[in-house]
Homo-oligomer: A and B are copies of this chain.
Amino acid sequence: MEPKLTIDEKKKIKRSTILNAAIKLYSENGFAETKVAEIAKEAGVSFGTVFTYFDSKEALYESVFLEPLEEIKTYFIEIEKHFKGEPLEVVKEMIDCHVQLFSMRNEYLRIIQQVLARPDRFPKLFNELNDFVNGFIVSIHPVIEAGQRLGYFYEEPTSLIAKSYLSILNGMRLTFVDESTSMMWKEITRQALRLFGPITNKG
């Protein structure tokens, strides 16, 4: 018995197929060097169909960027909702979660890097990222402050700690393109934590 899907569900699935094909190819080839025809082929549809679901190549890129961002955002904005406990524990868990997220969403992260590298080309998307960063700074602020009060974290401006943490997250993706052993992620987590406070004991 084949599953009965409503027309709307079918459309949603096809749209999503195209979107995923686009994420893959945009991340590999960049905006300019990705051809709509290739996306269509990857998605298994005719390239006319791409334009049925997305107004233009540009609009598709925006969707590719914005839609996954919403999901990722929750792990960066609603920190105290996702991670509970002592500040040190919260930060540890958060870093674990983010590092795992970044290691899994490899392709999507390249899209982010592309946008970061071209602020003038993608101003709308770039501003979304700025908002994202600022939202994270605001959101992580009480956690760091609490940690500082308890003497766990460095007495730095919380925004500096937040930004340097985002830097290392982003930078790792650039610097460790090929490596992806779970081992490594564990170690990286430890190094990221050291931007918050001195962690001398191993493990």
Contact = CB atoms under 8 A, between A and B. Distances in A.
A169 to B, nearest CB: 7
A195 B191 CA distance: 6
Interface in A159-192: 160-161, 163-164, 166-172, 174-178, 187-188, 190-192
B166 A171 contact: yes
Contacts of A113: 113, 116-117, 174
Contact of A167 (B119, B133, B171): B171
A173 B192 CA distance: 17
A174 B163 CA distance: 11
Given A168-B171, A171-B171, A200 B202 contact: no
Q: Interface on chain A toward B: helix, strand, loop, or mixed SS?
A: helix
B117 A174 contact: yes
B191 A176 contact: no
Interface residues of A, number: 46
A119 B168 CA distance: 20
Interface of A: 28-30, 32-33, 110, 113-114, 116-121, 133, 154-157, 160-161, 163-164, 166-172, 174-178, 187-188, 190-192, 194-195, 198-200, 202
Contact of A187 (B33, B110, B120, B156): B156
Contacts of A187: 156-157, 160
Given A200-B154, A202-B155, A174 B118 contact: no
Contacts of A32: 30, 32-33
Looking at A116, A154, A174, the one whose CB has the most chain B CB atoms below 10 A away is A174
